Amino acid sequence: MIIDGKSIANEILESSKIKIKSFKVLPCLAAVVVGDYEASAIYVRNKARVCQQVGIEFLKYKFPSNIQQKKIIDLIKKLNSDKNITAILVQLPLPRHIDKRTIIESISPLKDVDAFTSENFSKAVLKNSNFWPCTPSGIIHLIKYTGIKIESSNCIVIGRSEIVGKPLALALLNLDASVTICHSKTINLTQRCIGADILISAVGNPKLVTENMVKPKAVVIDVGINYLDGKLCGDVDFEKVSKIASYITPVPGGVGPMTIAFLIKNILTLYENNLRTNES
Ligand code: NDP
Is residue 82 part of the annotated active site? The answer reads no
**Domain-located, residue 59:** yes
**Domain-located, residue 10:** no
Q: Which residue has the higher pLDDT, 189 or 128?
A: 189
Q: Which CATH number does the domain housing residue 86 bear?
A: 3.40.50.10860
Cα 247 to Cα 5: distance, rounded to the nearest angstrom: 12
42 and 92, same domain (yes or no): yes
Q: Which residue has the higher pLDDT, 38 or 105?
A: 105
**Domain-located, residue 212:** yes
56 and 141, same domain (yes or no): no
- Is the link from the previous residue into 93 a cis peptide, with omega within 30 of 0? yes
pLDDT band at 100; cut points 50, 70, 90: very high
81 and 184, same domain (yes or no): no
**Full domain range(s) for residue 57:** 25-110
Measured in Å, residue 216 CA sits from the centre of ligand 1 at 24
Tell which of 94, 110, 126 closes a domain.
Answer: 110
**Domain-located, residue 173:** yes
User: What is the average pLDDT score of the chain?
Assistant: 96
152 and 94, same domain (yes or no): no
**Domain-located, residue 7:** no
Contacts of 75 (CB under 8 A, 6+ apart): 32, 61
**Domain-located, residue 181:** yes
Q: Mutation test of ligand 1: which of 223, 233, 263 has the most ligand atoms closer than 8 Å to its C-beta?
A: 223
What's the pLDDT tens digit per position in 253-270? 999 999 999 999 999 999
Protein residue closest via CA to atom 48 of ligand 1: 184
39 pLDDT exceeds 90?
no
**Domain-located, residue 265:** no
**Domain-located, residue 264:** no
Outline where 22-117 has alpha helix (H).
38-54, 69-81, 100-105
242 and 146, same domain (yes or no): yes
153 and 223, same domain (yes or no): yes
Is residue 114 part of the annotated active site? The answer reads yes
DSSP 159-217: ---TTTHHHHHHHHHHTT-EEEEE-TT-S-HHHHHTT-SEEEE-S--TT-B-GGGS-TT
279 pLDDT exceeds 80?
no
Measured in Å, residue 41 CA sits from the centre of ligand 1 at 19
pTM (global) more than 0.85: yes
Total domains in the chain come to 2
Is residue 69 part of the annotated active site? The answer reads no
44 and 156, same domain (yes or no): no
143 and 249, same domain (yes or no): yes
Residue of 52, 53, 77, 91 with catalytic role? 91
Cα 218 off chain centre by: 22
* % of the chain residues with pLDDT over 90: 96
**Neighbour-count burial for 31-41, b at 16+ CB within 10 Å, e otherwise:** bbbbbebeebe
173 and 209, same domain (yes or no): yes
278 pLDDT exceeds 80?
no
pLDDT band at 275; cut points 50, 70, 90: confident
Closest CA to 101 of 80, 134, 128, 73: 73
Closest CA to 258 of 12, 42, 1, 2: 12
| pLDDT given at position 276 | 79
85 and 188, same domain (yes or no): no
